[in-house]
Structure 1
Amino acid sequence: MDFYYRQGHEEYFVSRIEKYGSTVVRINVPRGPFMVLDPRVVALLDAKSFPVLFDPSKVEKRNTLGGTYVASTTLTGGHRVCAYLDPSEPAHAKAKQMLLSLLHSRRDAFIPAFRSNFSSLLSVVEMQLKVGEGKPVDFNKLNDVVVYDFLGEAYFGARPSAFTPDLASKAGKWLLVQLCPLATLGLPMLIEEPLLHSVPLPPVLVRGDYKALHAYFSAAGATAIDEGEKLGLSREEACNNLIFATTFNSYGAMKLLLPGILTCISGDEELHKKLASEIRAAVAGAGGQVTLAALERMELTKSVVWEALRLDPPVKFQYGRAKADMLIESHDAVYEVKKGELLLGYQPCATRDARVFGDTAGKFVADRFVGEDGRKLLRYVYWSNGRETEDPTVDNKQCPGKDLGVLVGRMFLVELFLRYDTFTVKVTNGPLGTNVAFTSVTKAAAA
């Protein structure tokens, strides 16, 4: 009741820190539908204790993606995909290497694919603002389609909408069926509890949608599937891993990341001026081209993206099960944890830790990561299920698309400020995240 309805996630954890005078606490969490697992977890709620979740020698990640809830493998073609595997399982290295190889092989496609898709999105925003005479234009709705097209074009060279026009909406339905047992949709408790949290929604509701996803990925992702087969995966294992990684991991995160960035920078015209100046100077210095080298010179732009990810990470919960009896340290104490106990990290508490980020820990500070001292703080940015200063490998659980996530955030800012001097948005909080609507744009003179 507190977690979903009375308090909400953040207040729930903050109130427990205050109640027990500790940032490491044993608490109950909601159990997934039909689950008989013990709902007690050890919650890690500060920047010092949280990183134990990244250590595969200390925690097991087998089937802990959703904590006490494990989605049916019927939703993933009968396969346990990479996100549910522990690094000790042989299939983990094969699946993750396939994903890392895909990202490496397609690295030159990311910038042009992003620019073409998001240039079209912003053109639609401008047109709708003009036609609607200033009526707010829903960014989230446009973004949900364009992000999926970008990912398909970037990863496989083929836009999903060209294969099946409504494939992004089918992907969204498939995501919802997996996530709703752990979420609240804003419905009255008497409706939501029996409908969403007591029994799992049957996979048959999205069987047709998943078939459409499978058809697209089988065709568009054939080269990546070939690579997976060479690594020892069956073609079906490889295909289902591609579907999950692209749709659940990449798409699910980017649906939240870009509205989050807009929310952080909204209403700050002075910041808009600084970003526009930095971005345009770097692009001009690259002969008018948006290149990786130009992006690397945009220090404030990078800081803004990291700060948005620190303040409001797309994935807020990380889990792991203790492999052995261990001691976990917070800033103030040491705690005994027994083998088999489930550890829960609520990331916003860790990445807004005032012992690390000071009095502004809960505020957006655009230039927080600028300069040498700022870059030292990057080790406390955990959005990718690992430190920002570390890299994903087949031996850890850090997101294979970690660098792409940051790149996408930077490219989004570049596309905005090459085109606009400033803009205004309306931000509202919905049950599934922040909703953003453009209310005005001021085009740059040269745009």
Structure 2
Amino acid sequence: MSSSTSDNSKLPIRTIPGGYGLPLFGAIADRFDFFYNQGREKFFSSRIQKYNSTVFRTNMPPGPFNASDPRVVAVLDAASFSVLFDTSKVEKRDVFTGTYMPSTDFTGGYRVCPYLDPSEQKHQQIKSFLFSLLSSRHGQVIPLLRSHLSELFQKLEDKVAGKGQAQFNSISDNELFNFIFRYYCGKDPTQTNLGSCGSRLFDLWVYPQLLPVGSAGLPWYFFPINVVEDFLLHTVPFPAWSLKWDHHKLFKAISSSAKEALDQAPSFGLTKEEATNNILFVLGFNSYGGLKIVVPTLMKWVGLAGEPLHTRLAQEIRTVVHQEGGVTYNALEKMPLAKSVVWETLRIEPPVPYQYGKAKQDMIIESHVEAFEVKKGEMIFGFQPIATKDPKVFEDAEKFVGDRFVGDDGERLLKYVYWSNGRETEDPSPENKQCPGKNLVVLILRVILVELFLRYDTFEVEIGTPTIGPTVTVKSFTKATTLS
């Protein structure tokens, strides 16, 4: 056997606790606990306490229907979770959404890059193509994003001034979509067949792919409604054919706008059709879909941190921008507190909570204190919000600490920030499954912080808790005493 952390584990071997219950009924019982009776955090924390182990067996949604096997080995600490990044030991084929994979009819009949294992030649071809696309646009990120952020904050200001508050998510979604579409395709979406409905059309296309692993989040006492929802969402896949028109419209918008990038597709061994479907997925599902979650999350945690952190951020950001003569890549690198705040946001509430991988071989997985034997073919599952709040790694792990990653000691903790399907200290490549847009996301969040505190001294928010990311209501802005 091999180990997830070393070839010869010196930790005591323990049989993996937990189980899957009776066929069919065990999976359904776990699913009701996960979605309705307990909720996902309590689902995992109660089992960690019950088994006195951060590694255990359980069922994960949607199973047992949708042609998925719900049985997983859960790894819920910073040490054991890291096995999911080792593609020599875990296979990442068709596990992007977990034990369930949506029909390829959603993506033009293609298995797009997130569903491919790095061992597949097509994975390296597509990811190399995406890297080329991202690299060619790199110089446009800051000025393009700042122009959209200016629109975003002005709209928020107007709403707060007129109504006393502003719902951040809806305004943010539209501006972020316009930015990300222009970034990938070089054209404003309103200049395409999408018109002003682009963000809503992408939402309509993305959400059905996630329905079998989602829920409205109603508590247990809505039992009759939950039973109906469970049947509709978790037993029958959403029919992809019903969104064929939506896919065609999105496909046409990208194929007609990203011609320069698509002309390069054959040099990577891809047809233009396959390249277009991959841009569509990465633009809509990964980039726009991810930003819909992580940008409100940044506003949530920074807003809740209050004026003490705001004052420190404003001072750092304005000083550096003044010294550097503007918002530049070099300036962003000289803002240790702003960088730390972004990393802390990604640590405490990662945008993608679940990671999956199928064991390629018999192996030993190590937690901090024990080792566990996993057999070839078993599905390994990680719930990232618990792994990245591991108290054995992070002091005050449940608390948002803005300057956690400042200084040498802080930066040494970055190897435990896992939000991008890899360590923050590592970079994506065609040979791994780390998000190709990892560095772009970090850059976007830093620029948002900079733009925020160039404009405002402080702000107040109110937070809602839907099932996918927070909803943020801005209650007030205090404009900067000196605009930069």
TM-score range, shorter chain: over 0.9
Q: Distance between the aligned counterparts of 1:223 and 1:82, measured in 2?
A: 20
> Equivalent residue for 1:328?
365
Deviates more, 1:423-432 or 1:238-247: 423-432
> Equivalent residue for 1:442?
478
> Equivalent residue for 2:86?
55
Deviates more, 1:54-63 or 1:177-186: 177-186
Q: Distance between the aligned counterparts of 1:157 and 1:37, measured in 2?
A: 39
Q: Is the 8 A contact 1:303 1:367 kept in 2?
A: yes
Deviates more, 1:102-111 or 1:222-231: 222-231
Pairwise CA distance, 1:210: 1.4
> Equivalent residue for 2:51?
20
Change (3 A) 1:33 1:170: farther
Pairwise CA distance, 1:33: 7.6
Q: Is the 8 A contact 1:32 1:70 kept in 2?
A: no
Q: How does 1:3-402 map to 2 (within 5 A)?
A: 3-32=34-63, 34-132=65-163, 134=164, 136-163=165-192, 164=194, 165-186=196-217, 188-267=225-304, 268-287=306-325, 289-358=326-395, 360-402=396-438
Pairwise CA distance, 1:388: 0.2
Deviates more, 1:19-28 or 1:423-432: 423-432
Q: Distance between the aligned counterparts of 2:152 and 2:70, measured in 1?
A: 43
Long gaps (5+) in structure 2: 1-31, 219-224
Give 3-state SS (helix, strand or coil) of 1:446's partner: coil
Q: Distance between the aligned counterparts of 1:266 and 1:24, measured in 2?
A: 35
Pairwise CA distance, 1:384: 0.2
Q: Distance between the aligned counterparts of 2:377 and 2:423, measured in 1?
A: 24
Query: Which amino acid is 2:172 matched to?
Result: N
Pairwise CA distance, 1:32: 4.7
Q: Distance between the aligned counterparts of 2:186 and 2:143, measured in 1?
A: 11
Query: Which amino acid is 1:156 matched to?
Result: C
- State the Cα deviation string for residues 295-317 of structure 1 (Å, max 9, x = none): 00010000000000000000000
Give 3-state SS (helix, strand or coil) of 1:266's partner: helix
Q: Distance between the aligned counterparts of 1:310 and 1:162, measured in 2?
A: 37
Q: Is the 8 A contact 2:66 2:235 kept in 1?
A: no
Give 3-state SS (helix, strand or coil) of 1:373's partner: helix
Percent sequence identity is 50
- State the Cα deviation string for residues 404-428 of structure 1 (Å, max 9, x = none): 1111111111111000011111111
Query: Which amino acid is 2:307 matched to?
Result: E
Deviates more, 1:428-437 or 1:332-341: 428-437
Deviates more, 1:212-221 or 1:80-89: 212-221
Q: Is the 8 A contact 2:176 2:291 kept in 1?
A: yes
Q: Distance between the aligned counterparts of 2:460 and 2:182, measured in 1?
A: 29
Pairwise CA distance, 1:443: 0.8
TM-score, normalised via structure 1 length: 0.97
Query: Which amino acid is 1:56 matched to?
Result: T
Q: Distance between the aligned counterparts of 2:170 and 2:397, measured in 1?
A: 31
Deviates more, 1:322-331 or 1:180-189: 180-189
Q: Is the 8 A contact 1:29 1:39 kept in 2?
A: yes
Q: Is the 8 A contact 1:33 1:69 kept in 2?
A: no
- State the Cα deviation string for residues 73-123 of structure 1 (Å, max 9, x = none): 000000000000001111000100011111111100100111001110110
Pairwise CA distance, 1:220: 1.7
Change (3 A) 1:117 1:240: same
Pairwise CA distance, 1:340: 0.3
- State the Cα deviation string for residues 142-165 of structure 1 (Å, max 9, x = none): 111111111112222212233221
Pairwise CA distance, 1:446: 2.8
Runs of 4+ in 1 over 3 A off after TM superposition: none
Query: Which amino acid is 2:316 matched to?
Result: E
> Equivalent residue for 2:445?
409
Q: Is the 8 A contact 2:54 2:76 kept in 1?
A: yes
Give 3-state SS (helix, strand or coil) of 2:436's partner: coil
Pairwise CA distance, 1:401: 0.4
> Equivalent residue for 2:222?
none
Pairwise CA distance, 1:229: 1.8
Pairwise CA distance, 1:344: 0.3
Q: Is the 8 A contact 2:67 2:100 kept in 1?
A: no
Q: Is the 8 A contact 2:61 2:212 kept in 1?
A: no
- State the Cα deviation string for residues 11-68 of structure 1 (Å, max 9, x = none): 1111111110111111111235833433110101000011111111000011011121
Q: Distance between the aligned counterparts of 1:401 and 1:317, measured in 2?
A: 18
Pairwise CA distance, 1:190: 2.2
Change (3 A) 1:180 1:33: farther
Query: Which amino acid is 2:151 matched to?
Result: S
Query: Which amino acid is 2:183 matched to?
Result: A
Q: Distance between the aligned counterparts of 2:81 and 2:407, measured in 1?
A: 25
Q: Distance between the aligned counterparts of 1:228 and 1:62, measured in 2?
A: 23
Pairwise CA distance, 1:166: 0.3
Number of equivalenced pairs = 443
Q: Distance between the aligned counterparts of 2:382 and 2:117, measured in 1?
A: 17
Give 3-state SS (helix, strand or coil) of 1:273's partner: helix
Q: Distance between the aligned counterparts of 2:63 and 2:282, measured in 1?
A: 22
